[in-house]
Amino acid sequence: MEGTDTTAESIAVWRRLARGNPAAHSAELSKSLSNLALLRLFADPPPQALPAAAEAVQLMQLRHAEAPELHRADLGRCLSILAVCLNAAGLRQERHGAAAGAVRQYEAAWKTDPVRYAFDLARVLDQMGRYLADDERWADALGPLEGGLAWAEAYIHVDPTTYAPSSPGCARRSATAGGGYGNHGNWVDTRKRWCRWIPQ
C-alpha cells in the first residue's frame, strides 16, 4: 500500500534523526508512527496497528514530561489513535484508559487555547462516550457525550460551515443511535443532537 510505504519511509528518517537528537525529533517520529497505525487499520489485520500506536504514545509521553505545554494536544491525539487501534483489535477494557487519557490531555490543551482545541475535546469526549455505551455503561456514557456536545455547541460559531447541521452521515448515526439504544432516551437524544455538529 503506497501510503503505508511512504509513511514507513518517513518513520525511518525520523528514527535516524531521533537517535541523534531525541528532544528535537522524537515528537515528529511519534506523529508519523500514529499515522502509520491509522493506515495499518485499513491495510492489515487490526492488531498489526497496535505496536506503532503504542510506540507513538510512549515517545510522546517522554516529550510531554519534558514540556507539557508544548505536547498536550500531540499526546492527546496519540492516545486517541491508540484507543481506536485497541478498539479495532477487540481490546475493549484497554481502550477506555487510552480514551480517558486523550480527554485529559485535550482538556488541558483547551484551557490554554479554547478556540483551537474545543472541537478536539468534543471529539475525544464523544469517543469515550461511544466506547462506554458499547459496554452498555449508559450512565457513564451520557456525561462525556453531553460534555462533548456542550463544547461543540459553545464553539460552533468558529467554523459553522465545517460543522453545519443536517447531513446524510448525521442521519445515519441518528438512526443507529435510535435503533440500538431505543430504551435509553437521554442517550438517544444526546447522540442525535451531537450529530448536528460533528464534522462529516
Give the pLDDT score at 193. 55
User: Cell numbers of 156, please?
Assistant: 460552533
Q: Can you spell out the DSSP letters for 16-53?
A: HHHHH-HHHHHHHHHHHHHHHHHHHHHHS-GGGGHHHH
pLDDT digits (tens, 9 = 90+) for 115-130: 899 989 999 999 999 9
In a domain, 82, yes or no: yes
Domain with 57, as residue range(s), is: 1-112
Instruction: Print burial letters for 148-187: b (CB count within 10 Å at least 16), e (below 16).
Output: bbebbeebbeeeeeebeeeeeebeebbeebeeebeebeeb
CATH number, domain containing residue 65: 1.25.40
4 against 82, higher pLDDT: 82
> Residue 78: pLDDT above 50?
yes
Share of the chain above pLDDT 90, in %: 64
> Residue 176: pLDDT above 80?
no
89 against 191, higher pLDDT: 89
In a domain, 130, yes or no: no
184 against 158, higher pLDDT: 158
Q: How far apart are CA 43 and CA 66, in angstroms?
A: 34
Q: Which residues contact 111 (CB under 8 A, 6 or more apart)?
A: none
Which pLDDT band, with edges at 50, 70 and 90, does 150 fall under? confident
**pTM (2 d.p.):** 0.82
In a domain, 163, yes or no: no
pLDDT digits (tens, 9 = 90+) for 37-74: 999 998 778 789 999 999 999 999 999 999 999 999 99
The rounded mean pLDDT for the chain is 83
Which pLDDT band, with edges at 50, 70 and 90, does 77 fall under? very high
Q: What Å distances lie between residue 50 and 26, 40, 176, CA to CA?
A: 18, 9, 28
In a domain, 174, yes or no: no
Q: How far apart are CA 56 and CA 40, in angstroms?
A: 14
Number of domains in the chain: 1
> Residue 160: pLDDT above 80?
no
Q: Which residue has the cell 534523526?
A: 17
Give the pLDDT score at 49. 94
